[in-house]
């Protein structure tokens, strides 16, 4: 019987691993769409935003230890903080009914502007293949 050498492993720990950036890119696109919808009062509560955050959660596991992980964490936190502020605006409307609309509108517009800022800032860093600082 002939002895054959074992095949070389392609999973070398000395190689630098390429992060799976496609999931993060698609999540940024979905979050950008959801952020623009935010001016209409729905924001990340739309189906697009929910799909974006699910994609970010799913993609984060594959990107552990890479610069892409910080972007996915950034987007996930943006989603949850946006949800909190949108719910707070809704509670203001329910609490004071007619007087609450102007206050809620300010909260929702400020949230939408904040989300657009985070999506744009994050995408610019993503495009440069740089992690989000201090995440």
CA gap 28, 51 in Å, rounded: 11
Query: How confident is the model at residue 9, as a pLDDT?
Result: 45
In a domain, 4, yes or no: no
In a domain, 47, yes or no: yes
Tell me the residue range of the domain where 73 lies.
22-127
With a pLDDT cut of 70, the percent of the chain lying above it is 78
Outline where 20-66 has alpha helix (H): 22-37, 47-62
In a domain, 134, yes or no: no
**Least confident stretch, 17-21, 23-27, 67-71, 99-103:** 17-21
In a domain, 12, yes or no: no
Query: How confident is the model at residue 73, as a pLDDT?
Result: 95
In a domain, 10, yes or no: no
Neighbours of 1 (CB within 10 A): 3
Tokens encoding 96: 């004071």
In a domain, 40, yes or no: yes
Exposed/middle/buried for residue 59 (C-beta within 10 Å: 0-12, 13-18, 19+): buried
**Residues ≥6 apart with Cβ < 8 Å to 56:** 23, 24, 27, 72, 75, 76, 79
Q: For residue range 8-29, what is the model confidence (pLDDT) as tens digits?
A: 544 444 345 566 788 899 999 9
| pTM, full prediction | 0.77
Q: Is residue 35 within 8 Å of 119, Cβ to Cβ?
A: yes
Count of domains forming the chain: 1
Highest-scoring range by mean pLDDT, 18-27, 42-51, 90-99:
18-27
In a domain, 133, yes or no: no
Q: Is residue 79 within 8 Å of 85, Cβ to Cβ?
A: no
In a domain, 5, yes or no: no
């Amino acid at each position: 019987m002939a002895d054959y050498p074992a095949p070389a492993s392609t999973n070398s720990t000395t190689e630098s691993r390429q992060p799976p950036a496609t999931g993060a890119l698609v999540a940024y696109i979905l979050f950008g769409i959801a952020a623009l919808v935010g001016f209409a009062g729905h924001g990340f509560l739309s189906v697009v935003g929910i799909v974006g955050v699910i994609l970010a959660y799913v993609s984060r596991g594959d990107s552990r230890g890479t610069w892409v992980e910080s972007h996915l964490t950034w987007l996930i936190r943006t989603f949850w903080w946006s949800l909190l502020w949108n719910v707070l605006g809704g509670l203001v409307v329910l609490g004071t009914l007619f007087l609450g609309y102007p206050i809620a509108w300010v909260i929702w517009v400020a949230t939408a502007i904040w989300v657009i800022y985070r999506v744009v800032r994050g995408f610019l860093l993503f495009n440069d293949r740089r992690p989000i600082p201090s995440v």
